[in-house]
Copies of this chain bind each other. A is one copy, B any other.
Amino acid sequence: MPQHLIDKLERFTRLSDEDRQVLKALARKVRLIEAGVDIIQEGDRPETVNLFLDGWACRYKQLEDGRRQIVAFFVPGDLCDIHIYVLREMDHAIAAITPVRLATVPREILLDTMDRHPRITRALWWESLVNAAIQREWTVNIGRRTALERLAHLFCELFLRLRAVGLAEGSTCPFPLTQLELADATGLTNVHVNRTLKEMRNAGLILLKSRQLTVPDLAALQKAALFNPNYLHLEREGAHLSANA
């Protein structure tokens, strides 16, 4: 049940019952992947579109000499590039961070769905434009923010994304990333991430333990990060398309 995707798309526009049924039908073929395993490897030929149902994953690229950069996180409700099969081969890999449950959507099914359901189509474009905006924001984050700002920014983003798919409770959300993964996502080293997290805890910006993140004061964290949520486009921007409005 791609409830998280449905929740997310409803941050863009209200869906009809039929829309929701159609989205549910996308998640027919489910795959389970263990933590730490590559879901797709560089060089693979993409055949289907992945829809993440449960668990966390990441896109990453690795340089010849081993340096690794995580370029995106996938959380429940996220969808890989909907036209990925146009490319001959993957230029990067996707790995499961936790155990992952995902639906593999055959391209024909997705294309057919988009042919028939313009509101869903629009919502999926929105999803993919938001992902592009996130990728740009990561470029800014790594290029122009300090270590503390980078981590604070990432926490803000993930907290809001998780909240948008119904996975935050109050000021707490699941957060299964290790410090090494945080380092690889922010362009820092694990040692420096450790020191910066300590500083953030001391400043009362975050609580982080047993794979849970608590943000006691979101406004304060946003301020520390120079975080502007506009790039997530979560403000019902497609309200004019809403079903049952």
Partner-B contacts on A (CB < 8 A): 42, 59, 61, 63-65, 67-69, 71-72, 81, 83-84, 86-89, 91-92, 122, 125-126, 128-129, 132-133, 135-140, 142-145, 186-187, 226, 228, 230-231, 233, 235, 237-238
Contact = CB atoms under 8 A, between A and B. Distances in A.
A129 to B, nearest CB: 6
Given A88-B233, A226-B63, A72 B187 contact: no
By Cβ-Cβ distance, the 7 closest A-B pairs, closest first, are A143-B187, A88-B237, A91-B231, A83-B125, A69-B140, A69-B143, A67-B144
A53 B52 CA distance: 39
* Main secondary structure on A side of the interface with B: mixed
A77 to B, nearest CB: 18
A42 B230 CA distance: 10
Nearest to A130: B87
B135 A83 contact: no
Contact of A129 (B69, B83, B138): B83
Given A143-B187, A187-B143, A86 B126 contact: yes
Contacts of A89: 230
A235 B61 contact: no
A69 B141 CA distance: 9
B136 A72 contact: yes
Contacts of A71: 136, 139-140
Given A86-B122, A91-B137, A135-B135, 11 more contacts: A61-B140, A67-B145, A69-B144, A72-B136, A83-B128, A84-B129, A86-B125, A88-B237, A91-B228, A139-B142, A142-B187
Contacts of A142: 139, 142-143, 187
29 contacts: A42-B230, A63-B226, A64-B226, A65-B226, A67-B144, A68-B144, A69-B139, A69-B143, A71-B136, A72-B136, A81-B132, A84-B129, A86-B122, A86-B129, A86-B237, A87-B126, A87-B233, A88-B233, A88-B235, A91-B230, A92-B133, A92-B231, A132-B132, A132-B135, A135-B136, A135-B139, A142-B143, A142-B187, A143-B187
A87 to B, nearest CB: 6
Contacts of A139: 69, 71, 135, 138-139, 142
